[in-house]
Amino acid sequence: MLPKVFTQLTLAKLGEILVRRGLVSETDLERVLAEQFVGSNKLGELLVEKNLVTRESLERALFNQSIKLGELLIRKKLISNAELEKALKEQLLSNKKLGELLVVKQLISNEELEEALKQQYWRKKGFWSIS
């Protein structure tokens, strides 16, 4: 059984992620957030427009904020695209969690699942970046 913290995943806000990664200062973030409040632009677009972050850094932060377990397992070369697709189809019929199915099918170990879930959690919180 996984620790409760990994089953209740919440996304960090984009600004928090960028500050944690040292890509933008809190002062700059607050200034841009105030500007965003009166306008209709997205935070990331304003930060890029003002040259406070690069488009690449923004895209990396957004990717990490929304990474799914299957994508992460493929990136780590633990499963293939075909194995993921098959497991996702099976998941629809069984109502089981993807990680559980992959362990039962012996495509990954419990340890690999736990490590991937930890990594997913910390990426979404902005403390781990894609490699």
pLDDT digits (tens, 9 = 90+) for 23-63: 999 999 999 999 888 888 889 999 999 999 999 999 888 88
Domain-located, residue 131: no
Q: Is 131 exposed, middle or buried (0-12, 13-18, 19+ CB in 10 A)?
A: exposed
| pLDDT higher than threshold 80 for residue 92 | yes
Domain that holds residue 73: 68-125
The pLDDT assigned to 106 comes to 97
Are 97 and 117 members of one domain?
yes
- Structural domains counted in the chain: 2
List Cα–Cα distances, 127 to 16, 64, 74, in angstroms: 10, 9, 20
pTM of the model: 0.66
Question: What pLDDT does residue 128 have?
Answer: 66
Residue 20, classified by CB atoms within 10 Å of its CB into exposed (0-12), middle (13-18) or buried (19+), is middle
**Which of 29, 50, 66 finishes a domain?**
66
Q: Are residues 45 and 88 located together in one domain of the fold?
A: no
In a domain, 52, yes or no: yes
Asked if residue 8 is part of any domain, the answer here is no
Structure tokens given for 108:
């990954």
